[in-house]
Structure 1
Amino acid sequence: MNILQINSSARTQGSQSTVLANELTARLLAVNPGATVTLRDLAVTPHPVLDEAALHALFTPADARTSAQAERAALDDALIAEIQAADAVVLGVPMYNFGVPAQLKNWIDAIARVKVTFAYTDKGPQGLLTGKKVYVALTRGGQYRNTPADTQVPYLKTVLGFLGMTDVEFFYAEGLNMGPDAAEKGLAFARAQIDEAVHA
């Protein structure tokens, strides 16, 4: 098994979503001896935003790119290679202003490439990143699960499913900014979910 862990917090230290993602990966390693892990921390190594220069690079044929364009496209190619090789994906996702972190959106923009990770067919879009299990550790300061304010889960289900990753499981740590007791309860709930989902 190849495990790809993506930490999307803006924090390099003290991130609760990263703590839970680490625990998820450790659990997967415990039940899958011999598994390998690729870790990409988007706070340590931020991926560039999809801007006009990046679009020009990606839509220019590889043999016609300038050196700068080739270098920019190669950054996305590296992320695509990682997700293609993964059997399991662990995402650590805090909630920022009711959405996913910009760091995670940049990663998604990088791995979503037509004819590579999805294709348009006469029957509609087809995801090409199939056969992967995705685990998402969600951390929130308030309580948003199953409310209209939770835009993260619908978005992630949609975009991951569009790319072919339809087996997605979410773990919720909520109320983390509502006092020590609420935070402890929220983290305990997420860990109980992880225990139930990933066990020998």
Structure 2
Amino acid sequence: MTNILRLDASIKPAGSVSRRLTDRILARLTAAHPAASVTSRDLAAGLPAIDAAWIGAIFTPAEARTPEQAAIAAVSDTLIAEIKAADVLVIGLPIYNFGTPASLKTWFDHVARKGETFTYTEAGPQGLLTGKRAIIALSSDGTRFGSEIDFASGYVRHMLGFLGITDVDFVAADAMVFGPEEALAKAEGQVDALAA
């Protein structure tokens, strides 16, 4: 069975291009894998930012955590359990101010945990989430995918690779202010050409 984790980060409740693309990707994947299970998480609904209390909770052994620490750690533990269970990640990536939405950065902060999703070796860091695939639905108004002002796609690719996920595809409805219909049609064509 295929387990799909869908992450949306757009702050737009309606009219979001990245959500439209993640819908299309999900429809393609579930048509090819009717028995697939889908876990959806709307990151724009909010995640607590990591802070000193988070570090204290994460680095305290589970059996020694206070009730407050256990509640703090439970958020990160849940997000890590979701990504570990997933075979495929479908991530909506709208570009805000040349970078990722803060909610997606916060999600990476929660799931990048030493001993859980990566480890350090003499050769450097090694991701522990190997054998997974990620499909990223990127959207932007003025930023062109892969350009020198696109600080989002490279960051997301790097973080996924850091976690061990190196099979990464992007579909991009980019620079939409210069031709929204053409940009969306291009991205939808990229979705339709993906191996499901």
What's the TM-score once normalised by structure 1's chain length?
0.94
Shift of residue 62, structure 1, vs aligned partner: 1.4
Matches of residues 102-117 of structure 1 in structure 2 within 5 Å? 102-117=102-117
Shift of residue 121, structure 1, vs aligned partner: 1.2
Q: Secondary structure at the match of 2:4?
A: strand
Match of 1:80 in 2: 80
Shift of residue 20, structure 1, vs aligned partner: 0.7
Matches of residues 1-200 of structure 1 in structure 2 within 5 Å? 1-44=2-45, 46-178=46-178, 182-198=179-195
Mapped to 2, the partners of 1:26 and 1:109 lie a distance apart of 29
After superposition, the CA RMSD in angstroms is 1.2
Identify which range, 147-156 or 10-19, moves more after superposition: 10-19
State how many pairs are aligned.
Answer: 195
Deviations 1:90-109 (A, max 9, x none): 00010000000000001111
Letter in structure 2 aligned against 1:87 = D
Q: Is the 8 A contact 2:142 2:175 kept in 1?
A: yes
Mapped to 2, the partners of 1:141 and 1:28 lie a distance apart of 27
Mapped to 2, the partners of 1:117 and 1:34 lie a distance apart of 27
Deviations 1:115-151 (A, max 9, x none): 1100111221110011111000000001422321011
Shift of residue 175, structure 1, vs aligned partner: 2.6
Q: Which runs of 5+ in 2 are unaligned?
A: none
Shift of residue 55, structure 1, vs aligned partner: 1.3
What's the TM-score once normalised by structure 2's chain length?
0.95
Task: Flag as ranges the 4+ runs of structure 1 deviating above 6 A.
Answer: none
Letter in structure 2 aligned against 1:148 = E
Q: Which runs of 5+ in 1 are unaligned?
A: none
Deviations 1:130-175 (A, max 9, x none): 1111000000001422321011121111111010000000111013
Mapped to 1, the partners of 2:13 and 2:65 lie a distance apart of 34
Q: Secondary structure at the match of 1:72?
A: helix
Identify which range, 10-19 or 91-100, moves more after superposition: 10-19
Mapped to 2, the partners of 1:88 and 1:103 lie a distance apart of 20
Letter in structure 2 aligned against 1:90 = V
Mapped to 1, the partners of 2:62 and 2:39 lie a distance apart of 27
